[in-house]
């Protein structure tokens, strides 16, 4: 008993065409001194009856709201993840961040000694590291 996607789209296009024509007549009525129907007209609503933001142009009716690609128009975009505060960012900064623990990993000291040998100067007796 379904009309099919293309028939539903055609009917929805026809309704939108008639609504556009109605809008032109409302403008003409206002020009002639009649009431402004544009201010009090119905708004585009989603499945829950809430107004769809920024959708003044093309509207979807009935089964057309369930067509592929249309339902996404009615879904809200997910909110971006909350930004971390300065305090939360500072919690992650510790001794390792500043490089105070580099000598404890056992990698950098042998590399420094090897490089110092290449340069021809080793650590002098009594010289402290740090």
Strand-pair partners of 51: 45
**pLDDT for res 8:** 92
Average the pLDDT over 48-63 and give the result.
69
Q: Which residue has the higher pLDDT, 108 or 49?
A: 108
**pLDDT for res 122:** 57
pLDDT at residue 42 tops 90: no
**pLDDT for res 129:** 58
Name the pLDDT band for 99 (thresholds 50, 70, 90).
confident
- Does this model's pTM top 0.85? no
DSSP class per residue in 79-116: PPPPPPPHHHHHHT--HHHHTTTGGGGSSHHHHHHHHH
Q: Which residue has the higher pLDDT, 77 or 5?
A: 5
Tens of pLDDT, residue by residue over 8-28, are: 999 999 998 998 898 899 999
Q: Which residue has the higher pLDDT, 66 or 40?
A: 66
pLDDT at residue 33 tops 90: yes
**Domains of the chain, residue spans:** 5-74, 81-130
DSSP class per residue in 25-62: HHHHHHHTT---HHHHSPPPB-TTSPBPTT--S----G
Q: Whole-angstrom distance between the N-terminal and C-terminal Cα of the chain?
A: 83
């Amino acid at each position: 008993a379904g009309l099919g996607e293309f028939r539903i789209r055609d009917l929805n296009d026809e309704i939108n065409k008639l609504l556009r024509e109605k809008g032109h007549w409302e403008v003409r009525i206002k020009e002639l001194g009649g009431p402004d129907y544009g201010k009090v007209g119905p708004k585009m609503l989603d499945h829950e009856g809430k107004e769809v933001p920024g959708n003044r142009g093309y509207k979807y009716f009935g089964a057309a709201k369930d067509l592929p690609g249309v339902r996404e128009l009615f879904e809200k975009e997910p909110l971006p993840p909350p930004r971390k505060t300065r305090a939360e960012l500072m919690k992650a900064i510790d001794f390792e961040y500043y490089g105070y623990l580099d000598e404890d990993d056992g990698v950098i000291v042998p590399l420094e000694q090897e490089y110092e040998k290449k340069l021809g100067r080793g650590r002098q007796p009594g010289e402290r590291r740090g």
